[in-house]
């Protein structure tokens, strides 16, 4: 028996992916000008970027508990197995809310068969885990194989990226204001990775050095565990 897959919009995968692979989208909330939208449903990423360029500061919040209740109830009634791979619990309350609503739905529908995995991943690192799990489901892999594969991938996913500055990450609560202030003071382009689900600066070189450092780390097996991640490299 295969499995129904759920993923939230923090995976940064395009909407067409969810449609093509029949993955159920759990949209996070986006607040702009005192209006609340569902990410990728009632507002698209390009619109959010445009708002930022206009000087606005959109805010995000976890997925709606009502949405979880409806999705998990439908799953229970269908008799299918379900797997929800969530955005890192260190960056959003979505995972905790999903677990809470699952327990509530299970009180009414004890037959609910849903596994929830905290990916401890972010953005396309999280998206790659979802995409590979979805490909397995599409190939007809068993539920146990898909779940085991997803757990393994989450533990072995490495993230490496750089940004112009840390201001937006600090405003969104993703990194500390002290780190953002120091980066701005020194006028550096930070190199970051994900450590136990949190965004962590690795080094603060200039842009060209940042890109060179990323390539060097990748050539050496993406051993960010040396910076404290504790994860094995994923090749």
Domain ranges of the chain: 4-156, 161-227
When mean pLDDT is compared across 55-64, 125-134, 203-212, 225-234, the lowest value belongs to 225-234
Q: How far apart are CA 222 and CA 226, in angstroms?
A: 9
Interval 88-105 mean pLDDT: 95
The model's confidence at residue 112, banded by pLDDT at 50, 70 and 90, is very high
- What is the pLDDT, as a whole number, of residue 232? 40
When mean pLDDT is compared across 114-123, 181-190, 214-223, the lowest value belongs to 181-190
Q: How far apart are CA 168 and CA 161, in angstroms?
A: 15
DSSP annotation of 37 reads E
Looking at CATH, the fold of the domain delimited by 161-227 is given as Hypothetical Protein Tm841; Chain: A;domain 3 (3.30.1180)
- What is the pLDDT, as a whole number, of residue 227? 38
1-52 pLDDT per residue, tens: 679 999 999 999 999 999 999 999 999 999 998 899 999 999 999 999 898 8
For strands 191-195 and 198-203, give the pairing.
antiparallel
When mean pLDDT is compared across 58-67, 115-124, 219-228, the lowest value belongs to 219-228
123-182 pLDDT per residue, tens: 889 999 999 999 999 999 999 999 999 999 999 887 777 666 666 565 555 555 545 444
- Please answer whether residues 70 and 108 qualify as being in contact, where contact means their C-beta atoms are separated by less than 8 angstroms: no
Looking at CATH, the fold of the domain delimited by 4-156 is given as Rossmann fold (3.40.50)
Which parts of 70-214 are beta strand (E)?
A: 81-86, 113-118, 161-162, 191-195, 198-203
Chain-centre distance for alpha carbon 97: 15
- What is the pLDDT, as a whole number, of residue 207? 52
- What is the pLDDT, as a whole number, of residue 229? 40
Nearest to residue 200, comparing CAs of 161, 231, 168?
Answer: 161
- Please answer whether residues 225 and 209 qualify as being in contact, where contact means their C-beta atoms are separated by less than 8 angstroms: no
pLDDT above 80: residue 114: yes
- What is the pLDDT, as a whole number, of residue 230? 40
């Amino acid at each position: 028996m295969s499995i129904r897959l759920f993923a939230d919009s923090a995976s940064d995968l395009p909407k067409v992916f969810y449609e093509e692979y029949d993955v159920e989208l759990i949209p996070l909330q986006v607040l702009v000008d005192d209006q609340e939208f569902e990410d990728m449903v009632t507002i698209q990423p390009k619109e959010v970027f445009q708002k930022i360029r206009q000087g606005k500061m959109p805010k995000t919040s976890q997925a709606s508990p009502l949405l979880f209740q409806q999705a998990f109830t439908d799953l229970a009634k269908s008799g299918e197995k379900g797997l929800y791979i969530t955005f890192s619990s260190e960056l959003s309350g979505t995972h905790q809310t999903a677990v809470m609503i699952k327990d509530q739905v299970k009180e009414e529908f004890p037959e609910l068969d849903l596994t929830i995995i905290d990916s401890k991943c972010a953005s396309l690192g999280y998206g790659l885990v979802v995409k590979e799990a979805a490909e397995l489901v599409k190939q007809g892999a068993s539920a146990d194989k898909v779940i085991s594969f997803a757990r393994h991938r989450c533990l072995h996913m490495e993230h490496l990226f750089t940004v112009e500055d840390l201001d937006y990450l600090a405003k969104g609560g993703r990194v500390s204001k002290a780190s953002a202030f120091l980066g701005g003071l020194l006028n550096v382009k930070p190199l970051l990775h994900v450590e136990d689900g949190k965004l962590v600066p690795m080094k603060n070189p200039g842009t060209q050095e940042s890109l060179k450092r990323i390539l060097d780390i990748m050539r050496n097996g993406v051993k960010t565990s040396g910076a404290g991640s504790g994860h094995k490299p994923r090749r």
